[in-house]
Each structure stands twice: as C-alpha cells, then as structure tokens.
Structure 1
Amino acid sequence: MKIPQCAPGRFYGAHSAEMEEAIRKVFAGGWYILGNEVRAFEEEFAAWCGCAGAVGVANGTDALELALRALRLPEKSRVAVPALTASATGMAVLRAGLTPVLVDLDQYRTMSVVSLREAFRFFADIRAVVPVHLYGQMAALDEIIPAAAEYGAAVVEDCAQAHGAQLHGRRAGVFGVFGSFSFYPTKNLGAVGDGGLVTCADAACCSELEALRQYGWSERFDSSEFGLNSRLDELQAAILRVKLPHLDKDNEKRRFLAARYTAGLTGLPLELPLERPQSRMVFHQYVIGCECREELRKFLADRGIGTAVHYPKSLAEQQAFAAASRTELPETERLLPRILSLPMYPELTEEEADFVIEAIREFFGA
C-alpha cells in the first residue's frame, strides 16, 4: 500500500464533472482576470465565513502582506508572529516593510499569550499581531485580541491552514481586522494552483484592499499609491466555487480521521494533538511528537507511508529573519526535533488510516 502524506488530486477524482464544467464556462466566457467568478467566490466565501467582505488575491503570502499594508503602520514597525510557522508568515511581514518579533507557542502549538505579553513589555513599538492557526488549530484569540488592544496593536489572523476552524462558534478569519487565507493545492480549501484571499472587518477595508491588489489604482491606469499585481484569476475562483460547498463535509472527514488516529495511537510514547477548549479544529495536518522522529519516519517510508515535517526550522533559525527580535522560545525549541505530520486529507480511506496506525504501533512493538 502506498499512502502519500498529501494528495490534492484525489478531490478531482470524486468531482471531475463539476470541475470540468466550471473550467469550460471560464474558457467559453473569455474573461480570465477579476471577472464574475472572482466576484461570486468573494461573496460566497464571505457569507460562508461570516465576515463583512472578502478580496481575492494571487496567493496566501500576498494576502497577509496586503492585509498588513492596509493597516498603514509606520515603516519598520514591529509585528509579533509565532516562531513556528511557514516562512511565508515572516516573509509577508518583511515584504510589508515591517519587522518580525518572534514569540513562543502554547500547549496547542499556537501563539503563546504569555510570550506575546512578554514581547509587548520588551518592544514598545509592536503595532500588529499575526496569530497563526497552525495545523488547523485556532489560536487563543479570546486572549490575544484583548492583549493586543491593551498595547494598541491590530490583529491580522493567518488562516492559511484553518479554513472552517472555529472558536466559540465563529469561524477563523472574522476575529481580527483582517484574516488571510491561502488556497495552495494542499490546503483544506485548495485551488489547482496558487490563490489567496483576505477577509475584512468592514466594507471600507475591502475597497482599500481592492486598490492595493491592483497597482494601487484609484481608477483604471491611475496608481495613487504603491500597490501589487496580485489578483485571483477566474479559473481558480471557478474551481474554488466548486470546492467550497464540500468544505464543511471534508473538514468533518478530517476530524473523523483525526479521532481514528488518536484512538489508535493513544498509549504510545507520542505527543498527540490537543484541541483547544471551545474550538473546532479542522486538522489541516495531524501532527504527532516523537522523540525518535527520524527513525519512525524511515520506518514508515519503508512501508510506503508518506510523512512530512511542518516545519524543520523555526523562523529564528532562518537567515532571512536574522534581524528579527525574539522572546525566549523554549516550547518551539522543544517541539522542533519531534514534530511529524501523518497522512491527512478527506479522501484518505479508513483502511489507509488503519494501515498507518498499525505501522506506528509495530514500530513501538505495541
């Protein structure tokens, strides 16, 4: 049995007719950039998410950069980000002309409020906070947002791995001033190429982002400010419109598979994912912690089971972020050599999940 760690092509196998019809309509329509499909997807995603509006962009990194630009912060202002995240999070901060401050994780592998408050005490010029809903787990926004407000900092959610995750019954992307999403093919809601989107707290924010994503145009061919060329194309929007109605069901399948993993792996010398109280995790990844990670990873690979490490280096260890400020990072440093992502996607079968469980149990002699 061969089980990849991720398999974005499996959705197509189950929904090929819908997807091909959506693609056909785009080609037949002859309009490929910022047309009806993008507008419809923005409206549908905003309604699904429960926010005032949404603006489609070229990718998730641009989404976060544009959201930060729209805050109009002074140049080089500090932005608090978790040290364990995709490098895209930190890169978006740098591209926006801002300075990252790296903070530690809590027991749920998201931004530590204790570490964040420590950062505020040390760095008075933190003007924004970017909590990352890592692996599909909501960060502690009910604590982070009040802490940020005390110091006059705006909150921009990095929701790239959390399409549909909830905290206190509200979806990711509606808590901060902005929420940034990625539609990279392996995401819970993935395109067949790159794509991204920003959710907005009000309509004025949406209008500002619409200008920033397209050269800073105040009107066509008139750039009134420094903007980007970052537009979600019609083809990707059409495909995302096909996939969005299936997302809640697909997230439930991820939760079912995660529960199966947890039941089968409990009792082994592993750290299993914890779900934050009053939240609903969507398991973009199912990440275990293992003291003998590399040995386990090789053992699984020999049996045809793909795994991944999200992520092998913290931002603190990457040269691009050498100038970033930081707090102490004990939990990040503890986790880094242990984390391992098991196969996780809605099309993973129960038989495949059980094969993974049995292989891990065999590794530990259980």
Structure 2
Amino acid sequence: MSRNTASSGATSPPTADVLRFLCAARAAFGVSLRKLTLHAQLHHFPALLTTVDFENLEELELYLDHDHGVDTDIATDVLRQCIAPFVNHFRRSLASLLISSASNADMSPLLDALHDFPRLRKLVGRFVFDSAHLSDPRGLVKLLQTHSDAFTRVELRSSFAATASSEEEEQRPISTWGVFSAAVVTDPRNFANLTSLKLPGLTTFDGTLQCLRRSADTLTSLHLTDHFLGTQELADLIRVFAHRPFDAGLQTLHVGLSIFTVEMLDLLANQMSGLQSLNLVLTSRTVNEVSHHAWLGPRTTLFSRSLADRSYPDWKLSNLGIWDRRFLENTAYSTPEEVMLMQHISRCIPGLQTFKGEPKNEGETCRWCFPDSYPP
C-alpha cells in the first residue's frame, strides 16, 4: 500500500483485523489519502464504511462481490442509505469513480441516489444490464448527462452475476441494455468530448456511431466490445475520425471483426496512420483458418498471398493484439493460433514492437509461418 492508497476487502464478515487496519489507515492518512478501493459483499459494506470516513478522496473504487441474494428491501436500504451517502460525501473532491457489481441486488437505487460531482472526470461502471440487477438504467444515464461537460474517460462493461440453472433458463431477467442504449443515443450530451471510451456495442450500430461522433474530435482511445464489425461497419467507424488529418487521431483501437481481410488492414493503415495500438477480436473460425494456412506457407490462401505483398512502413503502429473471441485487454496470454497470426502480420509493419504490450522476440518468429524465408 502506498502512502496515498488504501485497499480492503471483505467477502466474509469484516474481521477485527480488517476493521483495525481501516481505522489505522484513517488515523494515518485521513487527510492525505487519495485513493480507496473496497471489495465486499453488499451486506458487509455498512460495517466497512463506518471505519473509512476519509477526507479529500480523489479516486474511489467499489467492488460489490458475488452473493447469493439479499432481501430486496434490505439491499435497497444499504444502497440508498449507506453506500450512496458515503460516495456523495466526496462529491467535491472525487475525480474518478468505479462501481463494479457482481451482486444479485438491483443497483438502480444506488445510481439513482448519487449526486453531481463537480470534479469527476472518469467513470467506470460494470453492471448486469437486466431487470434483476439494473432494472432502471436512468440513474446511470443521469450520471452521464450531468457530467457530460466534465467527463474525459468513460468505461461501461457488462459484469456477471450468478448463472441461472437449467431449470431457470426460461425465467432469465429481461435485458435493460436496449433501454439504456435508446436513452444515451437520444440525448446528445452523452459521450461528448471524451478522450477515452470503452463501451459494449449499443442495440444498433447506427446508434453506436451516433454516440461516437460526439467525441470524434477528441477521442484518442476507443474500445468497442461485444460486437463483431463487418467490412462496411469498420469502414463507417473509421470514417468517423477521417476528418483529423493534422493530429494523431485515435491512438488506441480495440474492436471485434466478424471477418478479417488484407483490405481491412489496408484501410486501417491508410486511414489511421497515427494508430499506435491495435487490438482485434476475431471469430474462432477466422483465427483458425488464417493461422492454419500460415503454418502451411505464406501463399496458400488469398489472404496469405495478399499479405506477402503488403508493407506498411509509414504506419506508426507499435503494438498489436489478436484475440480469439475474447474481449480482453489486461492480459498478455495468447493461444498458439493468436501468436501465429500476430507474427504473420508483423512482417508487414516494420515499427511493430510489442504483442499485447509484451516485447515481441524476433528470434521466436515461427519458421513454419514463412518457410521460404529460412535456409533449408
């Protein structure tokens, strides 16, 4: 723990040692503490929060861990009367707020009870968007609208609660992602003037593009998850940022592709020459087909033949990631097929230095990818 950061968790009831630690942290860092991270099941938060009345917090991260369900009235009371007032206490100092829930409780009362935060610049929300876990997304939409002039970074992601048993499959809660999507598309204040956005694809791709255009002049990092773009959709996405020839434009792009062609690489290299990091999530069929033919030789398919003739010396790309149906970003683990495909592409991009953020070792380039590049 650094001088300005404290972290604690309580999946089981907070022990005396945990409470003593938090009391000691409050006594030592009550004025200077800048970041606090708490992991706990919902019904343990009241005991934790009585010990952490710090001042001047700038970053707050709350992780509501998985539970087996809490009485609805009790959950609402904890969210409205305990957690929300705690977060609101820091409204004048908070610059970054993360709320992640794997709880079975409905998070709507918490989001609806949050006030405005004049200094808030970053919001991370990870929820289950359905009628049981986020029954009314209007509280989340209100947060986005209220702080639209101040937000520079927004990350929204679907989290996971308990998986329904086979007997309950037909009784799964109704998704509320469509309600949220419609609300954020309708109000032009949402997602405006951001520099970083991480967002699952909205109900319609046109709606996603409409929101992206609001930050077309400012975005430098974009992560679109849970949606595989087709060829035309990728072209439409790139066109959103095509009017920025005099700055670097997007520097980080993380998207899924339903197919993968050399023409797509051409488009990215030509229209996003300032891109520094590219992460592509491909379908398993695409990864397996391309990597399989890479093993057989560089000219066994149209993709391989076309790629062998390509070179992108002016592309500033320094990092490449290929993912097999996994919208991840914080792990450098790669399957052999992913490594094969990244190596295959890297020969066309002289400036490429890392795979998924890890240095690529030129000496480990697989000789089976390019057999005629090696002596017998």
Asked if these proteins are the same fold (TM beyond 0.5), I'd say no
Larger Rg: 2
TM-score by length of 2: 0.24
Give the structure with the larger strand fraction: 2
Give the structure with the larger helix fraction: 1
TM-score by length of 1: 0.24
